[in-house]
């Protein structure tokens, strides 16, 4: 099925395009035909997931492939705990697909609206010092290459391509299925608590090493951080979920409804923001609950924003965040959105932000009606000084010249790209900027 003329926007509204043509394939063969047809027409072609990337990585001026109809469970290896899913499967649908088999994904981010292919291709990650990003869970994949052929990449087929293809930025081909190494289903015991920011920074390295999943948020203009610690429990442990009413009040009414109003007022009257943040600081209390892993990992976020996130060597996180705090104070900025800090294990994926090093993440945000440029440029300068690598799916201002030295296998990735897509059929202006022509 194809269509044309509709304007596409990403979730944040920061990127938009009117593709020449939109294709909605429902089979692998249809993807292959779309790639061949695009080449004959002299058009570039790109798959788009949920549009939850803040960068232009999914922008498709030529042919846009909407993979919503290429979704669902393809195969299950219960003995090995491996599950093959169609590339367009949304993350929030995966738990129900895995449940009959007693399986779960080993780790997740805090948003589950993305497609599996989109999340893994952009380097989406959760938190946990001993856990890698979502792409590290991939054991095999199938992609349509620039000539319309099918390429299988696994531990036994074209294995040399795995470190590039598992996190390929959409630059190597169109993913059509992905095999994920799952784990037995498990619960998470969550503890959320407000703590003094300085104590949290002093303890960050120890906690991120010792605890299963640890993260914290800091509202600028306050001295308090909201910490969240998730401890893994067996799947048959007792559940104690958040009450329906209290959960709605905390997670929907306050975290989304009231907060949306606060951001809207702050965009018009910035001087009120510090007072709002300090009020939130006083109202934040302790919360403790136990539930299925995906219900604890995920947070429902409906307030739209722009985001930049940088991956740093983990030991640099406390100092870098202190520099960010000093910067905000010195510039007199009024920042309504919290700054988020997470962690991940080192991995061996060539373009992973955690490649070769234990990693910490600092994410900064601006309300979607505010211009983030001045804030983000200044934050990026701090992150670059600490050998930071930007999240591929979030806003940043780097190019191939500056990114190449940050990744030891960058040149090897480009060689694979030259081999699989020599005519750059899967490129766009963002990939030209970050990978080069």
Q: H-helix or E-strand containing 30? A: helix 28-40
Please enumerate in sequence order all residues whose Cβ is within 8 A of that of 266, keeping only pairs 6 or more positions apart, or say none. Answer: 272, 273, 276, 334, 336, 367
Tell whether the torsion through CA atoms of 113, 144, 429 and 419 is positive or negative.
Answer: positive
CB 349 within 8 A of CB 169: no
CB 58 within 8 A of CB 392: no
Q: What is the pTM of this model?
A: 0.95
Tens of pLDDT, residue by residue over 390-420, are: 999 999 999 999 999 999 999 999 999 999 9
Domain spans, the chain: 2-66, 73-184, 186-397
pLDDT at position 125, please?
Answer: 96
- Closest by alpha carbon to 431, among 139, 198, 173, 231? 173
**Does the domain made of 73-184 have the CATH classification 3.40.50.150?**
no
Residues of the chain with pLDDT under 50: none
φ, ψ of residue 244 in degrees (nearest 5): -60, -45
Tens of pLDDT, residue by residue over 148-185, are: 999 999 999 999 999 999 999 999 999 999 999 999 99
pLDDT at position 243, please?
Answer: 82
Q: H-helix or E-strand containing 4? A: none
- Closest by alpha carbon to 212, among 193, 187, 236, 181? 187
Alpha-carbon distance of 353 to 389, in angstroms, equals 6
Tell whether the torsion through CA atoms of 179, 181, 186 and 188 is positive or negative.
Answer: negative
CB 153 within 8 A of CB 177: no
CATH, domain 2-66, list 3.40.50.970, 3.40.718.10, 3.30.43.10, 3.90.245.10: 3.30.43.10
Q: At what angle do helices 197-210 and 317-331 cross, to 10 degrees?
A: 150
pLDDT at position 376, please?
Answer: 98
Per-residue buried b or exposed e for 127-145, using 16+ beta carbons within 10 Å of the residue's own CB: bbbebbbbbbbbbbbbbbb
Half-sphere exposure of 364 (CA within 13 A, CB side): 23
DSSP 12-26: TSS-EE--SEEE---
pLDDT at position 364, please?
Answer: 98
CB 211 within 8 A of CB 129: yes
Please enumerate in sequence order all residues whose Cβ is within 8 A of that of 121, keeping only pairs 6 or more positions apart, or say none. Answer: 135, 167, 168, 169, 170, 175
φ, ψ of residue 49 in degrees (nearest 5): -95, -120
Domain covering 186-397 in this structure, CATH number: 3.40.462.10
Q: At what angle do helices 317-331 and 373-385 cross, to 10 degrees?
A: 150
């Amino acid at each position: 099925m194809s269509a044309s003329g509709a304007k596409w926007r990403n979730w944040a509204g920061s990127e938009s395009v009117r593709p020449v043509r939109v294709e909605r394939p429902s089979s692998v063969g249809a993807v292959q035909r779309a790639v061949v047809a695009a080449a004959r027409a002299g058009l570039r072609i790109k798959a788009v997931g949920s549009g939850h990337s803040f960068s232009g990585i999914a922008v498709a001026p030529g042919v846009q492939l909407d993979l919503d109809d290429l979704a669902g469970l393809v195969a299950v290896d219960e003995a090995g705990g491996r599950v093959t899913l169609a590339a367009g499967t949304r993350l929030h649908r995966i738990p129900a697909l895995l449940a009959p088999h007693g399986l779960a994904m080993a780790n997740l981010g805090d948003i589950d609206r993305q497609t599996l292919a989109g999340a893994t291709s952009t380097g989406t990650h959760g938190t946990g010092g001993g856990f890698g990003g979502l792409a590290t869970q991939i054991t095999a994949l199938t992609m349509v290459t620039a000539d319309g052929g099918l390429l299988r990449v696994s531990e036994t087929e074209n294995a040399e391509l795995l470190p590039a293809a598992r996190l390929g930025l959409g630059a190597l081909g169109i993913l059509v299925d992905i095999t994920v190494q799952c784990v037995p289903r498990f619960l998470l015991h969550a503890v959320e608590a407000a703590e003094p920011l300085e104590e949290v920074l002093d303890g960050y390295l120890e906690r991120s090493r010792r605890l299963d999943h640890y993260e914290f948020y800091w509202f600028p203009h306050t001295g308090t951080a909201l910490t969240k610690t998730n401890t893994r429990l067996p799947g048959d442990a007792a559940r104690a979920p958040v009450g329906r009413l209290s959960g709605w009040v905390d997670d929907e009414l306050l975290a989304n409804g009231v907060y949306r109003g606060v951001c809207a007022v702050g965009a018009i009257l910035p001087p009120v923001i510090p007072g709002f943040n300090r009020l939130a600081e006083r109202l934040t209390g302790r919360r403790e609950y136990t539930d299925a892993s995906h219900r604890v990992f995920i947070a429902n976020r409906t307030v739209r924003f722009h985001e930049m996130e940088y991956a740093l060597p983990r030991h640099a996180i406390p100092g870098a965040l202190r520099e960010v705090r000093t910067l905000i104070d010195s510039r007199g900025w009024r920042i309504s959105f919290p700054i988020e800090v997470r962690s991940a294990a080192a991995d061996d994926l060539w373009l992973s932000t955690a490649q070769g090093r234990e990693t910490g993440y600092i994410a900064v945000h601006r309300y979607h009606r505010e211009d983030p440029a001045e804030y983000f440029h200044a934050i990026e300068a701090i992150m670059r000084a600490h050998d930071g690598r930007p999240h591929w799916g979030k806003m940043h201002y780097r190019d191939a010249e500056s990114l190449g030295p940050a990744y030891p296998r960058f040149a090897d990735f480009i060689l694979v790209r030259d081999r699989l897509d020599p005519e750059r059929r899967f490129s766009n202006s963002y990939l030209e900027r970050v990978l080069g022509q």
